[in-house]
Structure 1
Amino acid sequence: MNKWYCLLLVLVGLGCGKGDNSYVPSVSVNFQAPLADPKLIKLNSVGGSVIISGYGVAGLIIYRSGASSYVAFDRCSSYQPEKRCAVTIDDTGLTATDPCSAAKFLLSDGSPVKAPATRSLKPYSVYVNNFNIFVSN
């Protein structure tokens, strides 16, 4: 019985410690723009992506993943988010790279594809009607 009690104390002790600050902070996001805006021209075709500054923690990336589907992510890298390194869209248009750590993320779903990142980019909700795009959380 004492052996199990000691094991439980060890496991609880290992689980305690500093809080996990490795998540991108939650901030209010409420972006909207007409799809005809020249800044969004790259969203006219599937696989197109744009960077929007001034929203989220480090800006937004909006990616057109299908004929009528879009995804949006915070540009703040999920690897050491306290550094607030803004990912940049790669020349391929398929991935984004954290310039601080060289981690890479798929734009189609935000998932990490190159270490050291292990978490996806922070996603936001996207709604599109015939003329406008809305990104929020």
Structure 2
Amino acid sequence: MRKYIGLVLVILLFTSCAKEETLIPDLPVNFSAPLTDPRLSRLSTAGGAVTLTGYGVAGIIIYRRADNAYVAYDRCSTVNPEQKNAVVVDDPNLTATDQVSGAKYSMYDGSPVKAPAKTSLKQYGVTIAGNTLQVTN
């Protein structure tokens, strides 16, 4: 009997420690525009965010952090990602909300800040070359 209890405990340990994976599909993302592009005007100051459709699973968010670094995320919520619910940037631009589940994510690093979110938003690479911003994966 003790063998069975030990086996059950080992199985529970391994299943409860399994790494949660983001189930957001890998779609090619290649957005490039000059920083003077009117679509990016809100990125002129720290804390600015823009959303763009037609990229990734549910569009992308580009955010300019307080340290003047740029980050980009897929708008697809990690809660029920098969539904492809696009998160909406809140006012002020500190968080983004999945309006279906109520989950919230930090714009600073994409991490979940309100349940039921457990996994960060999918992040894309951002590079600045001269006056051009590029988002890729």
Normalised to the residue count of structure 1, the TM-score between the two structures is 0.86
Check the 8 A contact 1:95/1:107 in 2, yes or no: yes
Counterpart-to-counterpart distance in 2, 1:122 and 1:22 = 7
Letter in 2 for 1:23: L
Q: Which runs of 5+ in 2 are unaligned?
A: none
Letter in 2 for 1:55: Y
Q: Which residue of 1 aligns with 2:27?
A: 27
For residue 50 of structure 1, give the secondary structure of its aligned residue in structure 2. Answer: strand
Q: Which residue of 2 aligns with 1:122?
A: 122
Q: Which residue of 1 aligns with 2:88?
A: 88
Counterpart-to-counterpart distance in 1, 2:136 and 2:101 = 27
Q: Which runs of 5+ in 1 are unaligned?
A: none
1:19-75 alpha-carbon deviations (Å, 9 max, x no partner):
x88611111111101110001000000000000110000000000014541000000
Letter in 2 for 1:45: T
Letter in 2 for 1:124: Y
Extract structure 1 runs of 4+ deviating beyond 3 A: none
Normalised to the residue count of structure 2, the TM-score between the two structures is 0.86
For residue 39 of structure 1, give the secondary structure of its aligned residue in structure 2. Answer: helix
How many equivalent residue pairs?
132
Letter in 2 for 1:133: L
Check the 8 A contact 1:33/1:133 in 2, yes or no: yes
| CA distance 1:70–1:21, change in 2 (3 Å) | closer
Letter in 2 for 1:117: A
> What's the Cα RMSD here?
2.5
Q: Which residue of 2 aligns with 1:110?
A: 110
Check the 8 A contact 1:22/1:80 in 2, yes or no: no
Q: Which residue of 1 aligns with 2:59?
A: 59
Check the 8 A contact 2:105/2:121 in 1, yes or no: yes
